[in-house]
Each structure stands twice: as C-alpha cells, then as structure tokens.
Amino acid sequence: MTNMLFEHTTLGQRVLFGTGKAAHHVVTELDRLGASRPMVIAAPPEQALAETATAGTTASLWWDEVVQHVPVEVADRARTAVAEHDIDALISVGGGSTTGLAKAIALSTGIPIIAVPTTYAGSEATDVWGMTEERTKTTGVDPRVLPVAVVYDAHLSATLPVGLSVASGLNGMAHCVDSLWAPRADPINQALALEGARALNLALRGIVADPDDIEAREQALYGCYLAAVAFASAGSGLHHKICHVLGGTFDLPHAQTHATVLPYVLALNAPAVPELATRLATALGQGLAEGQDPAVGAVYALNVLRETVEAPTRLSDYGFTAEGISEAVERVLAAAPASNPVAVTEENITALLTEALTGVTPSPAALTTA
C-alpha cells in the first residue's frame, strides 16, 4: 500500500488466555466488575463445560435455550428472565450462537458479558450482533454487545469433535479472508488477518492430525481471536453477507456454511487484489511459484488446506437446494458492500452459489468469467 492514509479503531476488551485457567479467570472478572448475580448461558451440550468454567461462581440463573442465528423470540424470553432475576453479568460458555444470545441481551440491557468460547467462531471479539426474524437475519454494530472480557481455555475447546473444529476454524479463516477487503479494511487489520490465517492453517492441520494436541488447540484460539479482531475493524464483507443470507433465510448451519462458501468468494475476489492474494497464499503455507498467478495460488493454498482437513464442500449437504438460489441471489445483491473488489452481479453470485451447492472445485477463472 503506497498511500498510508486510513482510520483504524481498536476495540477495548480484556482477553485472558490460559489452559486450565477458565474458572479462575471468570471469578477474577466477576470481582473486577463487582457483579454478584450472573446468568450463565450454555446450551445443553455445553452444560458440563460451563460447570467447569464457572466453578467457584454462584450463578443466579442458568439459561440453556440457545438457537443458532438467535431468533428474536428466544432473545425476548432471555431478556425477560434477566429482568426477573435482576442479573448484573452474563457469562456465555459455548460457540457463536451462545455468544450471540448474550449479545442480544446486552444490546437492550447493557449488561456486561464475560465470554468463554468453546469453538473458534470469534464472535466474542467483535461488537457485531445478529438476530433472525421471519427468515431474515439482521446484523448491526453496537459497543454494548462487545464482551468486556474473553476467557480462552484450550481445555474447553478440546472436546470439540474434529469435524466441528474444522468447520469452526474455517469460520475463523473466513473472518481473515473477508477482512482483507471488507469496507473498512486497512493495513492493521490486514496484518492481523494474515497472522490469524497463518495460525489457523497450522492449528487445523494439527487438530486433525491429533485431536488431543493442546498446543494446536491454543493456536486455533489465538488465530480465531486475531481473525475476529480484524473482522471487527474491517467490517462485514461479501462472504459474510452471503452466509448471513444462507443462515438467516435458509437456516443453514453457521460454521459449515462459512467453511463451504469461503473458497468461492476468494476465487471471485482474488483476481482483483493480486498483492493480497500473494500474501494470503504465503500465510497459508503455499508461496507462489515463479510466474504463478496470485489468485490461482491463493485459491490453491486454501483448497490444499480444505482437502487436508476434510472440510465441508457442498451446501447441498446442509439442506440448500437449487430452488433457493434465485431468492438467495436477490438477497445477497441487496446486502453486498459496494466496495467489494469485484463488482457483484446476478450472474457471478448465481455462479458462486451454484458451484458451492454442488462442490465444484473453486477456480478464479470459473467465477470471474461467468
């Protein structure tokens, strides 16, 4: 970048890393906040993890109704319970849906959140909220929803099955890639995104090779945090707009949808940003050969990772059908950022979703000439 002129905002948040330290850090943060009536939010599958993370903490309320994409009616019920129990802190233990519900509560109440992630979604490090009503997912930015503290403990994510670890980690990777050219992209969040991509690339390979590799799990948390910080600064790019449509309107699973769509968005945009494509390929461990096209190299690097970790490849596996493409394209076109490196058209988004539906090998040439 030759013109070093930009405006960057760094969000204020306390982050505590420490394998096996979650319960200690949660207690410390409650004391720091002066909170004595916390609500613990954890879906039933995360109940045991939440008990571990909050050992030594007396919760005024446990809440286990957690639904992906945060339906408005679920958020309303949780807000009512918060008021009835005079809750003064929210402890979310789980993945993006759990953090998302805590954010929905904080959006209207201002109650502080202590986020304890058990996946690699990264929602805990952003001030972005999202809720779904009548098949439409609405997102926004508000400082009230940024967790005041994030507690990272690799022991809590070690129980995440390999398949979900891969999908969740590639959700984090999507934050990295989208942040390279999102509406507020700048050199700082690009640097964070590329380091996040490097860490996630190594972490996911390590987790697949040995699911009990705690160092790989720690690297995954580190990478997803950097990815989310970059995303919070850069804003929501085309990839996230597409996935919000697929999730909110068609109820596709969040992480798997991100993992599936990502290489197609990269294939669409990379030809327009060769310098960033080169840097991304390098971050993913695949430096370009002499004379190699940067876009081809970047997509190849991501494809190698996805093949190595056996990532999701077809939207059809998660309930999306060809009949939904037309409506999805219409909604994506309405939401796509004007600053996307490649002009978004009905033709190229239709081609993108058609290829993602069936799992055609992503290729820059296929989407840029469609």
Neighbour tally for 80: CB within 10 Å: 10
Q: What is the pLDDT of residue 4?
A: 83
Residue 60's pLDDT band, with cuts at 50, 70 and 90, is very high
Q: What are the boundaries of each domain within the chain?
A: 14-157, 162-368
Over 80: is that where the pLDDT of 149 sits? yes
| Pair type for strands 136-141 and 128-133 | antiparallel
Q: Please state the length of the chain.
A: 370
Which 3 state secondary structure label does DSSP give 23?
helix
Q: What is the pLDDT of residue 151?
A: 98
Over 70: is that where the pLDDT of 1 sits? no
d(CA 240, CA 244): 6
For the stretch 219-240, pLDDT in tens is: 999 999 999 999 999 999 999 9
- The mean pLDDT of 235-263, rounded to a whole number, is 95
Q: What is the pLDDT of residue 367?
A: 64
Over 90: is that where the pLDDT of 212 sits? yes
Q: From the CA atom positions of the chain, what is the Rg in Å?
A: 20
d(CA 303, CA 362): 8
Asked if 187 and 124 touch (Cβ cutoff 8 Å), the reply is: no
Nearest to 135 by CA among 209, 202, 208, 72: 72
Residue 49's pLDDT band, with cuts at 50, 70 and 90, is very high
Q: Is 169 exposed, middle or buried (0-12, 13-18, 19+ CB in 10 A)?
A: buried
For the stretch 82-133, pLDDT in tens is: 999 999 999 999 999 999 999 999 999 999 999 999 999 899 999 999 999 9
| Pair type for strands 38-41 and 89-94 | parallel
Fold of 14-157: Rossmann fold (3.40.50)
Q: What is the pLDDT of residue 3?
A: 66
End-to-end C-alpha distance for the chain, whole angstroms: 30
**CA triplet 210, 213, 218: central angle to 5 degrees?**
135
Q: What is the pLDDT of residue 9?
A: 86
Over 70: is that where the pLDDT of 259 sits? yes
CATH architecture of 162-368: Up-down Bundle (1.20)
Q: What is the pLDDT of residue 260?
A: 98
d(CA 123, CA 96): 6
Q: What is the pLDDT of residue 366?
A: 62
For the stretch 295-349, pLDDT in tens is: 999 999 999 999 999 999 999 999 999 999 999 999 999 999 999 999 999 999 9
pLDDT averaged over the chain?
Answer: 95
At how many degrees (to 10) do helices 238-250 and 254-269 cross?
140
Nearest to 115 by CA among 40, 37, 11: 40
